[in-house]
Amino acid sequence: MVQVKDLQWKKDMRVSELVDSYEYVGFQSVELQRASDVIVKMKKDSAKVFLTFTSNMVTSGLRGFFAQLIKLGIADVIVTTVGGLEEDIMKATGEVFRIGNFQTDDVELHEQGINRVGNLLIQNESYMNFEDMITDILEKLYEKQNRWTVSEMLREIGLLLDDPHSILYQAARNNVPIFCPAITDGAFGFHLYLFQQDHPDFVVDVVKDFGNILYATSHDDRKGVIALGGSISKHHAILSTLLNGGAEYAVYMTTAHRTSGSMSGANTNEAKSWGKVKDESDVATVIGDVSITFPLAMIRALDELESEGLLKN
């Protein structure tokens, strides 16, 4: 049994050294160190990695980190929600989000045309610019063909972008499919609807795309899941691994709690009861703000994977 050891600061201490020391601190520190270790194991084992995250994480500064992870070959499949994809496109075209605070007068913000996501602020103008742009993008897609699966459509949009810090840009160029089963749950979906009114034969096929994510792995593949936050992005990835025999590795990071009975709060042990994660799998569940926990665990993992030559250039 591991003994508790006192954390000590060292001059020029590296993130990896800090996270390594978490193994002996206790509470969520132990789970965070374990999560980093599981990520390293899934890559060393050549598992196909599903990275899932919710849109609010793309609102934050994690967006460029996700794009970097795709470029480095960490993720083989992305599953996310549509808000993050909208905001990825916005940022790729120069929109700037600002940091406010959690105690802002929201009525005053509304009068100023500003939307709040936690302590992050987005101007209505950014969405108006997105709306002006997305119709042109859909026209270009329609000229090529009138029927798309979601992942094929997102890849095509990624090829139109010119921002290496974009998730869609990096995914398109590194052949990493992005699945978004709830593509209509946002401004993008509203514009898909409007476009279809003028182009009745324009179809975005969500059901066919479910087949695409199922064929992204097989029963013979080793599978790993890094689920940041909950919602449909987490469940869609876990469901696809369930139908292909379950995942060998799983890391959940969330602020949701298992006592809610929700998919968002379900931990990795609960996933074993469904067969989504195999009984003998390596797992870790970290309860805490992903904007803090994920960079710590992932940077430590990147350091180790880089030292063993397991990152793409």
Are 80 and 168 in contact by the 8 Å Cβ rule? The answer is: no
43, 223, 276, 278: the catalytic one is 276
DSSP one-letter code for 135: H
- Return the C-alpha torsion angle 186, 190, 192, 198, nearest 10: 180
- Which residues are CB-neighbours of 256 under 8 A, at least 6 positions away? 229, 230, 262, 264, 265
Question: Which residue, among 238, 234, 237, has the nearest Cα to 273 in the 3D structure?
Answer: 238
Are 117 and 59 in contact by the 8 Å Cβ rule? The answer is: yes
Are 234 and 52 in contact by the 8 Å Cβ rule? The answer is: yes
Rounded to 10°, the helix 231-242/206-214 angle is 50
Q: How far apart are CA 18 and CA 268, in angstroms?
A: 25
Are 160 and 213 in contact by the 8 Å Cβ rule? The answer is: no
**Element of type H or E holding 302:** helix 290-307
Question: Which residue, among 156, 167, 178, 161, has the nearest Cα to 70 in the 3D structure?
Answer: 167
140 carries an active-site annotation? no
- For 3, list phi and psi in degrees, rounded to 5: -95, 150
Catalytic residue annotation: 276
